């Protein structure tokens, strides 16, 4: 799998929130399983990857050597950036309770993502 395709898919897992001074309360903390689906471009059709949220900060919870950064606002709005080398993708969306959804784009691909909390 090409790294740009992986980054594009993981971006959804990744989620990009508007930069704000406040972080989400711990109600969104935990490991989330993020399902990424490609709707445009030649990236892998679908992919699932774990993300961790700790004190409103999104990070990598998997084994791949990728950089995941993002934030969850108190409202549940989330933004993320996933990168590997010089390839990156961005995602945004919303978490509510133990689920979430949004969209992503990167390189020549774009799509949607859904998330489910696996642990707190």
What is the secondary structure of 24-48 as a DSSP string?
Answer: --GGG-EEEEEEEEEEESSS-SEEE
Could you tell me the pTM of the whole model? 0.79
What is the structure's pLDDT at 10? Answer: 52
Q: Determine the structural domain holding residue 42 and report its residue range.
A: 3-119
CATH number, position 60? 2.40.128.120
How many whole angstroms separate alpha carbon 54 and alpha carbon 46? Answer: 26
Residue-wise pLDDT for 58-78, tens only, equals 999 999 999 999 999 999 999
Number of domains in the chain: 1
The yes-or-no verdict on residue 51 having pLDDT over 80 is: yes
Element holding 14 (H helix, E strand): none
């Amino acid at each position: 799998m090409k790294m740009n395709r992986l980054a594009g898919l993981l971006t959804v897992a990744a989620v990009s929130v508007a930069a704000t001074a406040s972080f989400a309360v711990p109600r969104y903390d935990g490991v989330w399983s993020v399902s990424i689906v490609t709707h445009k471009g030649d990236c892998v059709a679908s992919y699932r990857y774990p993300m961790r949220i700790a004190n409103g900060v999104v990070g990598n919870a998997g084994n791949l050597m990728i950089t995941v950064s993002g934030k969850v606002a108190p409202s549940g709005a989330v933004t993320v950036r996933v990168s590997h080398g010089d390839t990156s993708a961005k995602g945004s969306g919303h978490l509510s309770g133990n689920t979430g959804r949004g969209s992503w784009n990167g390189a020549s691909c774009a799509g949607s993502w859904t998330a489910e909390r696996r642990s707190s």
